Amino acid sequence: MKNKVKHLGAVLVMVLLVFGMTACSNPAGGNSDTGTTYTATGTWTIRQAVNNEIWTSVTYGNGIFVAVAQGGTNRVMTSPDGINWTPRNAAAANGWRSVTYGNGLFVAVASNNSSETGMVMTSTNGESWESHNAASARSWESVTYGNGLFVAVANSGAGDRVMTSTDGKNWEEQNAGASTAWTDVIYANGKFVAVGNSGAVMTSSNGIAWETQTSPVTSSLYSVTYGNGLFVAVSQSGTNRVMTSPDGINWTGRTAAEATNWNSVTYANGLFVAVGQGGDNRVMTSTNGIDWTARSAAAANLWYSVCYGNGLFVAVGSVQGASSSTNRVMTAPGVR
Protein backbone atom coordinates (compact mmCIF):
# COMPACT_ATOMS: atom_id res chain seq x y z
CA MET A 1 0.00 0.00 0.00
CA LYS A 2 2.66 2.36 -0.18
CA ASN A 3 5.10 4.18 -2.08
CA LYS A 4 8.67 4.16 -2.77
CA VAL A 5 10.87 6.34 -0.64
CA LYS A 6 14.24 7.38 -1.89
CA HIS A 7 17.08 4.93 -1.47
CA LEU A 8 14.85 1.97 -0.50
CA GLY A 9 15.65 -1.22 -2.34
CA ALA A 10 13.40 -3.06 -4.76
CA VAL A 11 12.56 -5.73 -2.20
CA LEU A 12 11.32 -3.20 0.30
CA VAL A 13 9.32 -1.46 -2.39
CA MET A 14 7.57 -4.74 -3.14
CA VAL A 15 6.85 -5.25 0.55
CA LEU A 16 5.27 -1.82 0.74
CA LEU A 17 3.11 -2.47 -2.30
CA VAL A 18 1.79 -5.62 -0.71
CA PHE A 19 1.50 -4.24 2.82
CA GLY A 20 -0.24 -0.90 2.29
CA MET A 21 -0.65 1.18 5.41
CA THR A 22 -3.68 2.65 6.99
CA ALA A 23 -4.46 5.44 9.35
CA CYS A 24 -5.93 5.08 12.78
CA SER A 25 -9.52 4.23 12.01
CA ASN A 26 -11.99 6.32 13.94
CA PRO A 27 -15.55 7.28 13.03
CA ALA A 28 -14.79 10.97 13.46
CA GLY A 29 -11.29 10.92 12.06
CA GLY A 30 -9.73 11.30 15.49
CA ASN A 31 -10.51 11.17 19.16
CA SER A 32 -11.44 14.31 21.06
CA ASP A 33 -10.41 15.46 24.49
CA THR A 34 -12.89 18.16 25.42
CA GLY A 35 -11.41 21.45 26.51
CA THR A 36 -7.83 20.75 25.43
CA THR A 37 -6.23 22.05 22.23
CA TYR A 38 -2.83 20.81 21.15
CA THR A 39 -0.66 22.99 18.96
CA ALA A 40 2.33 20.68 18.55
CA THR A 41 3.48 17.24 19.54
CA GLY A 42 6.10 16.72 22.19
CA THR A 43 9.15 14.54 21.81
CA TRP A 44 8.43 11.08 20.45
CA THR A 45 9.60 8.15 22.58
CA ILE A 46 10.33 4.64 21.32
CA ARG A 47 8.36 1.79 22.88
CA GLN A 48 8.62 -1.98 22.69
CA ALA A 49 6.15 -3.97 20.62
CA VAL A 50 5.47 -7.56 21.69
CA ASN A 51 7.47 -8.95 18.76
CA ASN A 52 9.38 -7.92 15.64
CA GLU A 53 6.53 -8.28 13.17
CA ILE A 54 5.16 -5.68 10.75
CA TRP A 55 2.57 -3.77 12.78
CA THR A 56 0.24 -2.31 10.18
CA SER A 57 -2.58 -0.60 12.06
CA VAL A 58 -3.47 0.80 15.48
CA THR A 59 -6.71 2.15 16.91
CA TYR A 60 -8.13 3.24 20.27
CA GLY A 61 -11.44 2.31 21.85
CA ASN A 62 -13.04 1.13 25.06
CA GLY A 63 -10.06 2.47 27.02
CA ILE A 64 -7.35 0.49 25.21
CA PHE A 65 -5.08 0.68 22.19
CA VAL A 66 -5.24 -2.28 19.81
CA ALA A 67 -2.67 -2.96 17.07
CA VAL A 68 -2.65 -5.69 14.43
CA ALA A 69 0.22 -7.25 12.50
CA GLN A 70 0.89 -8.76 9.10
CA GLY A 71 2.44 -11.94 10.49
CA GLY A 72 3.90 -13.69 13.51
CA THR A 73 2.65 -15.87 16.34
CA ASN A 74 0.80 -13.06 18.08
CA ARG A 75 -0.78 -10.79 15.49
CA VAL A 76 -2.62 -8.60 17.98
CA MET A 77 -1.31 -6.55 20.87
CA THR A 78 -3.13 -4.33 23.33
CA SER A 79 -2.16 -1.55 25.71
CA PRO A 80 -4.04 0.55 28.26
CA ASP A 81 -1.52 3.38 27.94
CA GLY A 82 0.22 3.01 24.55
CA ILE A 83 3.46 2.23 26.38
CA ASN A 84 3.16 -1.25 27.85
CA TRP A 85 1.87 -3.87 25.40
CA THR A 86 0.46 -7.37 25.86
CA PRO A 87 0.43 -10.04 23.12
CA ARG A 88 -2.95 -11.45 22.05
CA ASN A 89 -3.89 -14.31 19.77
CA ALA A 90 -5.54 -13.30 16.52
CA ALA A 91 -8.58 -15.30 15.44
CA ALA A 92 -6.69 -16.56 12.38
CA ALA A 93 -3.14 -16.46 11.00
CA ASN A 94 -3.98 -13.96 8.28
CA GLY A 95 -2.21 -10.79 7.21
CA TRP A 96 -4.14 -8.24 9.25
CA ARG A 97 -4.18 -4.87 7.53
CA SER A 98 -6.53 -2.60 9.48
CA VAL A 99 -8.40 -2.38 12.77
CA THR A 100 -11.13 -0.02 13.91
CA TYR A 101 -13.50 0.43 16.83
CA GLY A 102 -17.19 1.23 16.71
CA ASN A 103 -20.48 0.36 18.39
CA GLY A 104 -18.68 -1.46 21.22
CA LEU A 105 -16.70 -3.68 18.86
CA PHE A 106 -13.17 -3.93 17.51
CA VAL A 107 -13.15 -5.10 13.88
CA ALA A 108 -10.06 -6.05 11.87
CA VAL A 109 -9.73 -7.03 8.21
CA ALA A 110 -6.98 -8.93 6.41
CA SER A 111 -5.38 -9.15 3.01
CA ASN A 112 -5.86 -12.35 1.02
CA ASN A 113 -6.57 -12.86 -2.67
CA SER A 114 -7.54 -16.56 -2.57
CA SER A 115 -10.19 -17.01 0.12
CA GLU A 116 -12.72 -15.00 2.11
CA THR A 117 -12.49 -17.45 5.03
CA GLY A 118 -11.51 -15.82 8.30
CA MET A 119 -10.59 -12.52 6.69
CA VAL A 120 -12.49 -10.57 9.38
CA MET A 121 -12.16 -10.83 13.15
CA THR A 122 -14.05 -9.10 15.94
CA SER A 123 -13.57 -8.51 19.65
CA THR A 124 -15.47 -6.71 22.38
CA ASN A 125 -12.38 -6.23 24.54
CA GLY A 126 -9.38 -6.42 22.18
CA GLU A 127 -8.17 -9.56 23.94
CA SER A 128 -10.36 -12.44 22.72
CA TRP A 129 -11.12 -12.54 19.00
CA GLU A 130 -13.68 -14.34 16.83
CA SER A 131 -13.19 -15.21 13.17
CA HIS A 132 -15.66 -14.28 10.43
CA ASN A 133 -15.74 -14.57 6.66
CA ALA A 134 -15.37 -11.54 4.43
CA ALA A 135 -17.95 -10.91 1.72
CA SER A 136 -15.46 -12.05 -0.91
CA ALA A 137 -11.81 -12.97 -1.46
CA ARG A 138 -10.15 -9.59 -1.70
CA SER A 139 -7.14 -7.81 -0.24
CA TRP A 140 -9.07 -5.86 2.37
CA GLU A 141 -6.93 -2.86 3.25
CA SER A 142 -8.99 -0.63 5.53
CA VAL A 143 -12.08 -0.74 7.74
CA THR A 144 -14.02 2.02 9.50
CA TYR A 145 -17.31 2.56 11.30
CA GLY A 146 -19.92 5.24 10.90
CA ASN A 147 -23.66 5.83 10.61
CA GLY A 148 -24.40 2.39 12.08
CA LEU A 149 -22.26 0.59 9.51
CA PHE A 150 -18.84 -1.01 9.25
CA VAL A 151 -17.30 -0.39 5.82
CA ALA A 152 -14.16 -2.00 4.39
CA VAL A 153 -12.34 -1.31 1.12
CA ALA A 154 -9.99 -3.51 -0.91
CA ASN A 155 -7.12 -3.09 -3.36
CA SER A 156 -8.09 -6.07 -5.51
CA GLY A 157 -11.11 -7.44 -7.34
CA ALA A 158 -13.39 -6.12 -10.05
CA GLY A 159 -15.77 -3.27 -9.23
CA ASP A 160 -16.81 -4.95 -5.98
CA ARG A 161 -14.09 -3.56 -3.71
CA VAL A 162 -16.33 -2.49 -0.86
CA MET A 163 -18.07 -4.59 1.79
CA THR A 164 -20.43 -3.51 4.55
CA SER A 165 -21.75 -4.93 7.80
CA THR A 166 -24.15 -3.75 10.48
CA ASP A 167 -22.67 -6.04 13.14
CA GLY A 168 -19.03 -6.56 12.03
CA LYS A 169 -19.69 -10.27 11.56
CA ASN A 170 -21.95 -10.67 8.53
CA TRP A 171 -20.73 -8.87 5.44
CA GLU A 172 -22.25 -7.91 2.09
CA GLU A 173 -20.34 -7.00 -1.05
CA GLN A 174 -20.90 -3.57 -2.58
CA ASN A 175 -19.79 -2.11 -5.90
CA ALA A 176 -17.15 0.60 -5.60
CA GLY A 177 -17.85 1.70 -9.15
CA ALA A 178 -14.14 1.74 -10.01
CA SER A 179 -11.49 -0.98 -10.01
CA THR A 180 -9.04 1.20 -8.12
CA ALA A 181 -6.72 -0.18 -5.46
CA TRP A 182 -8.43 1.43 -2.46
CA THR A 183 -6.16 1.92 0.52
CA ASP A 184 -8.08 3.76 3.26
CA VAL A 185 -11.64 4.69 4.24
CA ILE A 186 -13.13 6.85 7.01
CA TYR A 187 -16.53 8.17 8.02
CA ALA A 188 -16.85 11.85 8.92
CA ASN A 189 -19.05 14.85 8.30
CA GLY A 190 -21.97 12.66 7.20
CA LYS A 191 -20.16 10.62 4.56
CA PHE A 192 -17.72 7.82 3.91
CA VAL A 193 -14.57 8.90 2.06
CA ALA A 194 -12.12 6.42 0.52
CA VAL A 195 -8.76 7.09 -1.15
CA GLY A 196 -6.51 4.93 -3.30
CA ASN A 197 -4.03 4.59 -6.12
CA SER A 198 -3.37 7.35 -8.67
CA GLY A 199 -5.08 9.98 -6.52
CA ALA A 200 -8.43 8.18 -6.53
CA VAL A 201 -11.20 9.39 -4.22
CA MET A 202 -14.76 8.13 -3.80
CA THR A 203 -17.54 9.13 -1.42
CA SER A 204 -20.77 7.63 -0.15
CA SER A 205 -23.54 8.77 2.17
CA ASN A 206 -24.58 5.22 3.05
CA GLY A 207 -21.56 2.98 2.32
CA ILE A 208 -23.45 1.23 -0.48
CA ALA A 209 -23.75 3.67 -3.39
CA TRP A 210 -20.42 5.32 -4.23
CA GLU A 211 -19.39 8.29 -6.39
CA THR A 212 -15.90 8.92 -7.73
CA GLN A 213 -14.48 12.41 -7.24
CA THR A 214 -11.88 14.47 -9.07
CA SER A 215 -8.46 14.64 -7.45
CA PRO A 216 -5.72 17.27 -7.92
CA VAL A 217 -2.96 14.67 -7.57
CA THR A 218 -1.99 11.60 -9.59
CA SER A 219 0.17 9.95 -6.94
CA SER A 220 -1.30 7.17 -4.83
CA LEU A 221 -3.01 8.21 -1.61
CA TYR A 222 -2.46 6.07 1.46
CA SER A 223 -4.45 7.62 4.28
CA VAL A 224 -7.27 10.05 4.94
CA THR A 225 -8.62 11.66 8.11
CA TYR A 226 -10.99 14.43 9.14
CA GLY A 227 -10.76 17.24 11.64
CA ASN A 228 -11.47 20.92 12.13
CA GLY A 229 -13.93 20.90 9.22
CA LEU A 230 -11.40 19.46 6.79
CA PHE A 231 -10.63 16.13 5.15
CA VAL A 232 -6.87 15.58 4.81
CA ALA A 233 -5.23 12.86 2.71
CA VAL A 234 -1.52 12.02 2.42
CA SER A 235 0.66 10.40 -0.23
CA GLN A 236 4.13 8.93 -0.53
CA SER A 237 5.16 10.63 -3.74
CA GLY A 238 4.54 13.60 -6.00
CA THR A 239 4.90 17.35 -5.70
CA ASN A 240 1.88 17.64 -3.43
CA ARG A 241 1.93 14.89 -0.81
CA VAL A 242 -1.04 16.33 1.03
CA MET A 243 -4.46 17.29 -0.25
CA THR A 244 -7.40 18.80 1.60
CA SER A 245 -11.14 19.11 1.14
CA PRO A 246 -13.95 20.73 3.13
CA ASP A 247 -16.50 18.23 1.84
CA GLY A 248 -14.63 15.17 0.51
CA ILE A 249 -15.61 16.18 -3.03
CA ASN A 250 -13.57 19.26 -3.92
CA TRP A 251 -9.87 18.77 -3.21
CA THR A 252 -6.79 21.03 -3.21
CA GLY A 253 -3.18 19.88 -3.39
CA ARG A 254 -0.88 20.96 -0.54
CA THR A 255 2.86 20.82 0.10
CA ALA A 256 4.02 18.38 2.76
CA ALA A 257 6.67 19.33 5.32
CA GLU A 258 9.21 17.29 3.37
CA ALA A 259 9.49 14.57 0.72
CA THR A 260 8.84 11.72 3.12
CA ASN A 261 6.67 8.78 2.10
CA TRP A 262 3.60 9.54 4.20
CA ASN A 263 1.68 6.43 5.23
CA SER A 264 -0.85 7.55 7.82
CA VAL A 265 -2.55 10.67 9.13
CA THR A 266 -4.87 11.26 12.07
CA TYR A 267 -6.48 14.21 13.84
CA ALA A 268 -7.04 15.01 17.49
CA ASN A 269 -7.66 18.18 19.47
CA GLY A 270 -6.73 20.75 16.89
CA LEU A 271 -3.75 18.87 15.46
CA PHE A 272 -3.18 16.77 12.36
CA VAL A 273 -0.33 14.27 12.74
CA ALA A 274 1.16 12.24 9.88
CA VAL A 275 3.81 9.51 10.00
CA GLY A 276 5.82 7.86 7.26
CA GLN A 277 9.08 6.37 6.13
CA GLY A 278 12.23 7.72 4.56
CA GLY A 279 13.54 11.25 4.72
CA ASP A 280 15.16 13.12 7.57
CA ASN A 281 11.98 13.39 9.65
CA ARG A 282 9.18 10.85 9.68
CA VAL A 283 6.54 12.89 11.45
CA MET A 284 4.81 16.09 10.42
CA THR A 285 2.12 18.14 12.13
CA SER A 286 -0.34 20.84 11.18
CA THR A 287 -2.99 22.85 12.98
CA ASN A 288 -4.92 23.64 9.78
CA GLY A 289 -4.10 20.76 7.41
CA ILE A 290 -2.48 23.19 4.99
CA ASP A 291 0.79 24.32 6.57
CA TRP A 292 2.94 21.49 7.85
CA THR A 293 5.97 21.27 10.16
CA ALA A 294 8.48 18.41 10.16
CA ARG A 295 9.05 16.63 13.47
CA SER A 296 11.69 14.09 14.46
CA ALA A 297 10.44 10.54 14.89
CA ALA A 298 11.73 8.45 17.79
CA ALA A 299 13.53 6.17 15.32
CA ALA A 300 14.16 5.98 11.57
CA ASN A 301 11.62 3.18 11.22
CA LEU A 302 8.90 2.47 8.70
CA TRP A 303 5.92 4.04 10.47
CA TYR A 304 2.68 2.67 9.08
CA SER A 305 -0.16 3.86 11.31
CA VAL A 306 -0.86 6.54 13.88
CA CYS A 307 -3.82 7.18 16.16
CA TYR A 308 -4.75 9.15 19.27
CA GLY A 309 -6.27 8.10 22.55
CA ASN A 310 -6.11 8.88 26.26
CA GLY A 311 -3.98 12.01 25.73
CA LEU A 312 -1.38 10.23 23.61
CA PHE A 313 -0.47 9.89 19.94
CA VAL A 314 0.63 6.32 19.22
CA ALA A 315 2.36 5.10 16.04
CA VAL A 316 3.23 1.54 15.03
CA GLY A 317 5.36 0.13 12.25
CA SER A 318 8.36 -1.94 11.35
CA VAL A 319 12.14 -1.73 11.28
CA GLN A 320 13.91 -1.49 7.94
CA GLY A 321 15.72 -4.67 6.92
CA ALA A 322 15.78 -8.05 8.63
CA SER A 323 15.96 -6.62 12.13
CA SER A 324 14.92 -8.47 15.29
CA SER A 325 14.40 -5.20 17.15
CA THR A 326 11.02 -4.76 18.82
CA ASN A 327 11.32 -0.96 18.76
CA ARG A 328 8.16 -0.73 16.65
CA VAL A 329 5.96 1.62 18.67
CA MET A 330 6.44 5.30 19.43
CA THR A 331 4.37 7.70 21.48
CA ALA A 332 4.10 11.45 21.95
CA PRO A 333 1.94 13.51 24.28
CA GLY A 334 0.18 16.62 23.08
CA VAL A 335 1.71 19.93 24.14
CA ARG A 336 -0.70 22.67 25.13
pLDDT of amino acid 21 = 41
Bridge partners, residue 263, by sequence: none
| Chain mean position to CA 187 | 13
pLDDT of amino acid 202 = 97
C-alpha span between 201 and 245 (Å, rounded): 11
pLDDT bracket for residue 33 (50, 70, 90):
very low
pLDDT bracket for residue 335 (50, 70, 90):
low
Bridge partners, residue 192, by sequence: 187, 204
pLDDT at residue 3 greater than cutoff 90:
no
Which region holds residue 285: left if phi is over 0, alpha if psi is between -120 and 50, else beta? Answer: beta
Angle at 105 between CA 102 and CA 110, to 5 degrees: 90
Say if residues 27 and 193 touch (Cβ distance below 8 Å). Answer: no
What length is written for the chain?
A: 336
pLDDT of amino acid 280 = 86
pLDDT of amino acid 41 = 54
Bridge partners, residue 140, by sequence: 154
What CATH class has 10-335? mainly beta
pLDDT at residue 10 greater than cutoff 80:
no
pLDDT at residue 8 greater than cutoff 60:
no
Query: What is the rounded average pLDDT for all residues in the chain?
Result: 87
pLDDT of amino acid 24 = 57
Does 259 or 32 have the greater pLDDT score? Answer: 259
Which region holds residue 30: left if phi is over 0, alpha if psi is between -120 and 50, else beta? Answer: left
pLDDT of amino acid 273 = 97
Say if residues 76 and 49 touch (Cβ distance below 8 Å). Answer: no
Mean pLDDT, rounded, for 237-253: 96
pLDDT of amino acid 7 = 29
Mean pLDDT, rounded, for 145-155: 97
Mean pLDDT, rounded, for 248-256: 97
C-alpha span between 167 and 170 (Å, rounded): 7
pLDDT of amino acid 12 = 32
Q: What percent of the chain has pLDDT over 70?
A: 86
pLDDT in tens, 57-106: 999 999 999 999 999 999 999 999 999 999 999 999 999 999 999 999 99
pLDDT of amino acid 292 = 97
Say if residues 76 and 94 touch (Cβ distance below 8 Å). Answer: no
pLDDT at residue 312 greater than cutoff 70:
yes
| Chain mean position to CA 206 | 21
pLDDT at residue 14 greater than cutoff 60:
no
pLDDT in tens, 101-135: 999 999 999 997 678 899 999 999 999 999 999 99
Mean pLDDT, rounded, for 146-157: 94
pLDDT of amino acid 189 = 97
Strands laid side by side in the 230-235 sheet? 221-227, 230-235, 242-245, 252-254
pLDDT at residue 322 greater than cutoff 80:
no
pLDDT of amino acid 177 = 77
pLDDT at residue 253 greater than cutoff 60:
yes
C-alpha span between 25 and 143 (Å, rounded): 7
pLDDT at residue 205 greater than cutoff 50:
yes
168: nearest Cα among 102, 70, 265: 102
pLDDT bracket for residue 160 (50, 70, 90):
confident
